[in-house]
């Protein structure tokens, strides 16, 4: 029922909510989702001691393909997932100790 406010239960447009989210989180919802996916991929790489197939990791963590995953890693971290796979000791510098499971 348009006009009754049911298309916007909170009374705000999606555009306004995205802007509000970005203002308070310093990232858009899409950027934050990409960051979470990258964190999960890094934890997986650490758990598997670097023996990870890049295309399988991309699919597993929500990237459309390996090159999409590498673009997002380069965008946020300055290097690709493959570079971290080649030198797993980098994970210690990237993933804070507080976020690791014991």
Question: How confident is the model over 28-66, as pLDDT tens digits?
Answer: 888 888 888 888 888 888 787 767 888 888 899 989 998
Residue 63 belongs to domain spanning:
14-91
Tokens of 23: 């203002």
Unique residue bearing structure tokens 């306004």: 16
63, 37 in Cβ contact below 8 A?
A: yes
Distance CA 78, CA 17 (A): 29
When the pLDDT of each residue in the chain is averaged and rounded to a whole number, the result is 77
Q: Which range scores top for mean pLDDT: 23-32, 56-65, 76-85?
A: 56-65
Number of domains in the chain: 1
Stated as kind and residue range, the H or E segment containing 99 is: none
- Residue 100 predicted with pLDDT over 50: no
Is the whole-model pTM more than 0.85? no
Q: Is residue 61 part of a domain?
A: yes
Q: Is residue 39 part of a domain?
A: yes
């Amino acid at each position: 029922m348009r006009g009754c406010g049911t298309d916007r239960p909170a009374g705000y447009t999606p555009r306004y909510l995205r802007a509000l989210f970005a203002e308070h989180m310093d990232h858009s919802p899409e950027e934050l989702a990409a960051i979470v996916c990258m964190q999960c991929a890094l934890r997986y790489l650490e758990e598997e001691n670097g023996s990870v197939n890049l295309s399988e990791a991309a699919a597993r963590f929500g990237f459309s393909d390996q090159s999409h995953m590498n673009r997002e890693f380069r965008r946020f971290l300055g290097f690709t997932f493959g570079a971290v796979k080649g030198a797993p000791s980098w994970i210690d510098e990237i993933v804070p100790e507080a976020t690791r499971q014991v």
